[in-house]
Amino acid sequence: MTVVLIGPPAAGKTRIGKRLATRLGRPFIDTDHEIVAEHGPIAQIFADHGEPYFRRLEREAVVRALDQHAVVSLGGGAVLDPQTQADLAAASVILLTVDADAVAARIGTTKRPLVTDLASWQALVDSRAELYASLADYSTDTSTRPLDAIVEEIALWVEGNR
């Protein structure tokens, strides 16, 4: 089964996904990175064409990624697509959560069009928390523990669920 990481911005999907893929001996795909490689910076896509256009590109990247026996990190909003929600039933879905205190230290430097400060991050999380939880087969919090401990915990769960 494809292993998929979901969760809000700055939860650690990219960093943890990369290490988890190495740990499991699988390729790693990050849908945000696929979109950037093909179409340029996400903030620029939002600015030039708007969010609905970005979501269409994202859906195409998700379809390609879910077809691989890989570890896939989805963009934070990829799960808003109903077809993606349905497709995730056939994957092992891991939700990464993070609390606001930890995120405050993480969101300073990157360019996220929908997350400009802690308040916008919190609003986005509040609006999606139920959806994230409903799609997850396993959930773990990334706020305080070192990356390697989190990766090992997830890897053991995946190996138990093959």
Ligand X SMILES: O=C(O)C1=C[C@@H](O)[C@@H](O)[C@H](O)C1
90 touches 84 (CB < 8 A): no
Query: Where does this chain bind ligand ATP (CB under 6 A)?
Result: 9-15, 32, 76, 106, 110, 142, 147, 150
Stretch that binds ligand X, among 69-77, 89-97, 140-148, 154-162 (CB under 6 A): 69-77
Least Å distance, CB 161 to ligand ATP, is: 22
77 binds, options ligand ATP, ligand X, Mg ion, none, Cβ within 5 to 8 A by partner type: ligand X
**Residue given tokens 């087969």 in the structure block:** 137
Least Å distance, CB 80 to ligand X, is: 7
Q: Which of residues 114-143 bind ligand X (CB under 6 A)?
A: 114, 124
Stretch that binds ligand X, among 60-68, 108-116, 130-138, 140-148 (CB under 6 A): 108-116
Specify the residue, 120 or 139, whose C-beta has the smaller distance to ligand X: 120
105 touches 150 (CB < 8 A): no
Q: Closest Cα partner for 95 from 141, 37, 63?
A: 141
Least Å distance, CB 160 to ligand X, is: 28
110 binds, options Mg ion, ligand X, ligand ATP, none, Cβ within 5 to 8 A by partner type: ligand ATP
DSSP 68-136: SSSEEEPPTTGGGSHHHHHHGGGSEEEEEE--HHHHHTTSSSS-BTTBSSHHHHHHHHHHHHHHHHHH-
- In angstroms, what CA-CA distances link 152 with 19, 34, 87? 9, 26, 26
Q: Which of 2, 14, 78, 104 binds Mg ion (CB under 5 A)?
A: 14
Binding positions for substrate: 32, 55, 76, 128
